[in-house]
Amino acid sequence: MTTIVQQAMRARALMRVITLAAFLAASTAFAAPATAPQSYIDRPDVSAFIDEMVADSGFDARALRRFFAKVRYQQSVINAISRPVLEPPKWYQYAPQFLSASRIDGGVAFWRANAATLERAQNEFGVPAEIVVAIIGVETFYGRNAGSYRVADALTTLAFDDPRRAEYFRNELKQFLLQAREQKISPLAPKGSYAGAQGLPQFMPSSLRDYAVDYDNDGKIDLAADVDDAVGSVANYLAWHGWQTGESVMKPASIDVDKREEVERMLDGGISDRRTLESWQLDGVNATDIGESATGIREMATGIPESPGSDPVGVLMLEEEGEPSYWMVFNNWYVLTRYNRSRLYASAVWRLSQEVKRAFTGQ
């Protein structure tokens, strides 16, 4: 009997070893490589990039070789950008982190500390102060989470070691090197996200060069340490992308019960194509604060575009823990999606802006 028990114990122990070995073998398939890629300065694709920068933008080849000799591959960047999304988040899962009491209180404190600059930006660009505050709040928690990667390392890693996105990130690397030359700073100095986004508003280099402004006129653009520049740059970005002063972002909507199934089929990924407000009304979709007119077509309440035929709107669905909520979304909501294409992102910015404004004004 003892022999049988001992044999059984040895068999179970062997199975544990085999199982552990199989687990470790499987794990290594997803782990970082044992050795990093060869030095960037020795790679033919980097040499071709240097030649392109010299020919197209007049860079000094030796300076670029010195730069790439100091850049370091970052496996954590590849891990972060390749992290699989098993299922897109739903609104009720996504929103709470951006609508927490600490995020709202932080927005009020940021607004109070920078009230004069926010008011000036609102007057000059037509973008409400609370929208600018909310974008900075969502992007970096008012500067607390602006990123700790060297932008040079992040962009170089993605430009040359992420084949799926290489073209995009090589262009961003080019824009970053141009940015550093224009600002007369070392390209090894800026810090940012794993994707190379910089500063309080997390501008990618191409956006920084196109839309960032020296809002305090100190002779340089600094989105990381200069709040004035960050505020002015966010407002300028939104204005350039078509922000309409005084118009709505989104309004609660209702769908007639007998039309709901038909309308829901139009919501691809939670958002419809844009159509005229009148056509949505005829299909049973109505903003809840629009009143009846004498003609039977609903007239516009304050903040609703006055020309429904010329300013098409979309219908948005947000997943709540119970029944979903429905919204009419207007031009300014789509402008927010130019900052980040997610319907959840644009909606979170708007919701946070309203909560911060309510807390700031005491209403």
The reported pLDDT for the residue numbered 289 is: 66
Considering the candidates 87, 130, 139, 292, report the single residue annotated as catalytic: 139
The reported pLDDT for the residue numbered 86 is: 78
**Residue owning tokens 């009148």:** 278
- Determine the 3-state secondary structure of 250 from DSSP: strand
The reported pLDDT for the residue numbered 36 is: 55
**C-alpha to C-alpha distance for 275 and 286, rounded to whole angstroms:** 13
The reported pLDDT for the residue numbered 85 is: 76
**C-alpha to C-alpha distance for 118 and 121, rounded to whole angstroms:** 5
pTM of the full structure: 0.85
Q: Euclidean distance between the first and final Cα of the chain, in Å?
A: 81
Burial class (CB in 10 A: 0-12, 13-18, 19+), 70: middle
Residue 329: beta bridge partners?
250, 314
pLDDT one digit per residue (tens) for the chain, 363 residues = 434 334 444 444 434 433 334 333 333 333 344 345 668 999 999 999 999 999 999 999 999 999 999 999 999 999 999 988 778 899 999 999 999 999 999 999 999 999 999 999 999 999 999 999 999 999 999 999 999 999 999 999 999 999 999 999 999 999 999 999 999 999 999 999 999 999 999 999 999 999 999 999 999 999 999 999 999 999 999 999 999 999 999 999 999 999 999 999 999 999 999 999 999 999 999 988 643 322 233 333 334 444 444 579 999 999 999 999 999 999 999 999 999 999 999 999 999 999 999 999 997
Residues 223, 229 contacting (CB under 8 angstroms): yes
SS (H, E, C) 142-185: CCCCCCCEEHHHHHHHHHHHCHHHHHHHHHHHHHHHHHHHHHCC
Spatial CA neighbour of 206 closest among 228, 176, 243: 176
**139 counts as catalytic:** yes
CA atoms within 13 Å, Cβ hemisphere of 72: 7
State the span(s) of the chain assigned CATH 1.10.8.350. Answer: 42-82+149-226
**C-alpha to C-alpha distance for 179 and 202, rounded to whole angstroms:** 15
**C-alpha to C-alpha distance for 251 and 230, rounded to whole angstroms:** 28
DSSP 8-state symbol, 322: S
The reported pLDDT for the residue numbered 37 is: 63
- Give the tokens for residue 238: 């939104």
Distances (CA, A) of 131 to 44, 128, 315: 45, 5, 21
Distances (CA, A) of 167 to 57, 69, 362: 18, 21, 48
- Give the tokens for residue 139: 């992007």
Spatial CA neighbour of 280 closest among 272, 268, 269: 272
Q: Amino acid letter at 74? A: Q
Residues 40, 46 contacting (CB under 8 angstroms): yes
**C-alpha to C-alpha distance for 304 and 33, rounded to whole angstroms:** 55
- Topology adopted by domain 42-82+149-226: Helicase, Ruva Protein; domain 3 (1.10.8)
